[in-house]
Structures are given as C-alpha cells and as structure tokens.
Structure 1
Amino acid sequence: MDLPRSFTIRESSHRLCNPFTSEKLAILGHAISPSPGTRMLDLACGKGELLCTWARDHGVTGTGVDISTVFIDAARARAVELGVVDRVGFVHGDASGHVADDPVGIAACVGATWIGSGVPGTVDLLRRSLAPGGMMLIGEPYWRREPLDQATVKACHVARKDDLLPLPELLEQFGDLGCDVVEMVLADQDSWDRYAAAQWLNTRRWLDTNPDDELADQMRTELAAAPAQHARYQREYLGWGVFVLMNR
C-alpha cells in the first residue's frame, strides 16, 4: 500500500503536497487560532507540514495518516526537526477508513477528497471523528474559469468537468451538506506556480541521476510537456483552497 513512485519523484522537495505556500498555511492557522492542546486528525497528511507547524505555532496535538511511506518518513523527520515529536504522530495507512479513537477538535483532509470519493463522502468521514463544535478543514480544487471542452478538462488532470465545481457552487455544496463555511484561504496563481514548477526541477534532477530507471522515459515525456500545459490550462482554469467548516 503506497503511492506510485512518480508522485514522490515530482514532490521530493515539497513540504506541502498541494498548491498552498507556507505563508498561506500560516495565515489559515492564525485565522482559526486553535487553542493550545486542540487535538487534530489529518487524513492524507502528506509530509505532515500542517500538523507539525501548527503544533509548533499553536500547540495543537494530533495524528496524521497517509498511504505514502516516503511522505510518512518525511513527516516524522519534520516533527523531529521542529521539536514536536511529543505532540504529533504519523501512521502509514489508508486514510479512507480511518476514524479517530477519540473525538478531535479539528479534522482535516487537505487536497485528497478522493479518500471519500469526493467532497460529500469526505465530509461524512471527517464528521465521524469530530467533537461537537469542532472544525473540519477541506482542501479542494475548483474551476476558476469554465472549461470549454473535454481536452481542457483532461489537461487539468480532471476526469470529467462535473468532478469540480466553480467556487460559488462549491461553497453552496458545503451548505447543502449541513455545514457553515466559517473561513477559507485560497491559493493564487503564484502559489500554483510554486507547486507546479518545483515539480519540474525535482523531475529534472531525478532524471539526471536516474537516466536508466524504468520510469525515466515516462518522466522525461511528462517534463517536456508540463510547463506549457500548466501555463495554458492548470494556471488559468484551476483554483484551489482550504475551507473551514462547522456542523450546523
């Protein structure tokens, strides 16, 4: 049980495996200002940057779960680096079936709603771990501009146009699921660039040191097309944000 190697190659230097920056993550933390000792569950936690930095900056405690052994190892190393190993822990496992043993004050899934087969299922999964009055964090892409054809949808790495919503409709969907949207912090085109462009350098450095790897041809083809595809499609059509929800 693990992510394909291509994912960890692309994101080898990333601390955040999504189009957020460290600055935006800090803005979100200050916006909701969790009390020291607040317990968190972060499903599909990636390299644990949310939990580790919020443990350092806000005194939260909690657990991250991710399917990637590489990411979990990086998360544990980050906890050591930031001196928060006594506050956070990380579990290698399938986040789609993980429910906290005891209710948590913040339940998060930032950028991986596939674990619940979409937003409704992910909200339902997070609710199963949430204490009364707690907050859910959902990271989710949306359409900045309506794609005109299936080629544009595919170039944005989305299977079907209806798999994503425009921002107003996404916010309405949260309401239809019985949630109040109480905060949001959105990525912008610059933060998309930082996420995507870092993947190109990671890929090139990997290719330079692994020219005979079985994935080399695939990664070379991807690198040749990725910059123009990002500028033409993802940068223009895809938005992304973290939305803070509370049960009504």
Structure 2
Amino acid sequence: MDLPRSFTIRESSHRLCNPFTSEKLTILRQAISPSPGTRVLDLACGKGELLCTWSRDHGVTGTGVDISTVFIGAARARAVEVGVADRVGFVHADASGYVADDPVGIAACVGATWIGSGVAGTVELLRRSLMPGGMMLIGEPYWRREPQDQATVEGCHMTRKDDLLPLPELLERFGGLGCDVVEMVLADQDSWDRYVAAQWLNIRRWLEANPDDELADEMRAELTAAPVKHARYQREYLGWGVFVLMDR
C-alpha cells in the first residue's frame, strides 16, 4: 500500500503537495483561527505541513493519515523539526476508510477528494469524524476558465469537462450537500507555478542521479512535455482552493 514512485519523485522538495504556498496556508489558519487544543484529522495529509505548522503556531493537536510511506516519513520528521511531535501523529493507512476514534474539531481533506470518490463522498467521510459545530476543510480544483475543447481538458489531467465545476457551481455543490461555505482561500497562478515548476527541477535532478532507473524514460517524457502543457493549459484553466465548510 503506497503511492507510485513517480509522485514522490515529482514532489521530493515540496512541503505542500498542492498548489498552495506556505503564505496561503497561513492565511487559511488565520482566517479560521482554531483554538489551542483543537483536534484535527487530516486525511491524505501528504508531508503533514498543515498539522505541523498549525500545531506550532496555534497549538492544535491531531492525526494525519496518508498512503505514502515516503510522505508519512517526511511528516514525522517535520513534526520533530518544529517541535510538535508530542502533539501530532501520523499514520500510514488508506485514508479512504479512516474515521477518528473521537470526534474532532476540524476534519480535512486538502486536495485528495478521490479518497471519497469525489466531493460528496469525501464530505460524508469527514462528517463521520467531526464533532457538532466543527469545520471541514476541502481542497479541490475547479475550472478557472471553461475549457473549449478536449485537448484542454486532457491537458489539465481530466478525462471529461464535467470532471470539474466552475467556482460558482462548486460552491453551489457544497450547499447542496447541506454545508455552509464559511471561508475559502484560493490558489493563484503564482501558486500553481511554484507547485508545478518545482516538480520539473525535482525530476531533472532525479534523472541525473538515476539515468538507468526503470522509470527514467517515463520521467524524461514528462519533463519534456510538462512546461508547455502547464503554460498552455493548467496555468490558464485550472483553479484550486481550500473551502471551509460547516454543516447547516
């Protein structure tokens, strides 16, 4: 049970495995201002940056869950680095079936709603761990501009245009699930650049160090195509944000 190696190669230098900068993560924390001691469950937590920095800066406690052994190892090391290993813990597991033993004040899935087969299933999964009056954090892409052809859809790593919604329709979708949207912090084009462009250097350095690896041809092809694909499609058409929801 693990992520394919290509993921960890691309994101080897990342602390945030989403198109979200540390500054935007701070804005989100300040916007919802969790009380010290608030328990957080972060499903598909990646390298644990949300839990670790929020524990350091706001005193939250909690658990992160991720399927990647590499990411979980990095999360545990980050907790030690920032001095919060006694307040947060990380579990290597499939987040799609994970429910907290005790209700939490914040239940998060930031950028991995496939664990619930989409937004609706992920909201239902988070609700199973959430205390009354708690908050859900959902990180989700949306169409920044409506794609005009299938090449654009596929250039944004989607299969069909209907795989994503424009931002107003996504907000309506949350409402249709019985949630109030009480905050949102959106990525911008610079956020996307910092996330995606850093992957190119990670891949290049990995290729130089591993020219004979079985993944070398695949990663070389990705590096060759990725900058133009990002500039032509992803940068112009893909939005992404973290949406804060509360049950009505």
Q: In the aligned structure 2, how far is the partner of 1:101 from the partner of 1:163?
A: 33
Amino acid at match of 1:57: D
Q: Deviations over 1:56-90 (max 9, x none)?
A: 00000000000000000000000000000010000
* CA positional deviation for 1:150: 1.3
Amino acid at match of 1:165: L
State the TM-score, normalized to the length of structure 1: 1.00
Q: In the aligned structure 2, how far is the partner of 1:126 from the partner of 1:142?
A: 20
Aligned equivalent of 2:186: 186
Amino acid at match of 1:159: T
Aligned equivalent of 2:72: 72
Q: Secondary structure of 1:162's partner?
A: helix
Aligned equivalent of 1:212: 212
Q: Secondary structure of 1:57's partner?
A: helix
**1:166 has 2:166 as partner:** yes
Amino acid at match of 1:113: T
**1:242 has 2:239 as partner:** no
Q: In the aligned structure 2, how far is the partner of 1:160 from the partner of 1:66?
A: 27
Aligned equivalent of 2:40: 40
* CA positional deviation for 1:149: 1.2
* CA positional deviation for 1:237: 0.3
* CA positional deviation for 1:163: 1.0
Q: Deviations over 1:93-136 (max 9, x none)?
A: 00000000000000000000000000000000000000000000
Q: Secondary structure of 2:133's partner?
A: strand
Aligned equivalent of 2:152: 152
Q: In the aligned structure 2, how far is the partner of 1:121 from the partner of 1:98?
A: 13
**1:21 has 2:21 as partner:** yes
Q: What are the equivalent positions in structure 2 for 1:77-156 lying under 5 Å apart?
A: 77-156=77-156
Aligned equivalent of 1:51: 51
Aligned equivalent of 2:5: 5
State the TM-score, normalized to the length of structure 2: 1.00
Amino acid at match of 1:193: D
Q: Secondary structure of 2:41's partner?
A: strand
* CA positional deviation for 1:206: 0.1
* CA positional deviation for 1:187: 0.2
Q: CA RMSD in A?
A: 0.4
Unaligned runs of 5+ in 1: none
Aligned equivalent of 1:197: 197
* CA positional deviation for 1:26: 0.3
Tell me the percent identity.
Answer: 88
Amino acid at match of 2:105: G
Q: Secondary structure of 2:196's partner?
A: helix
Query: Deviation above 3 Å: which 4+ runs of structure 1?
Result: none
Aligned equivalent of 1:226: 226
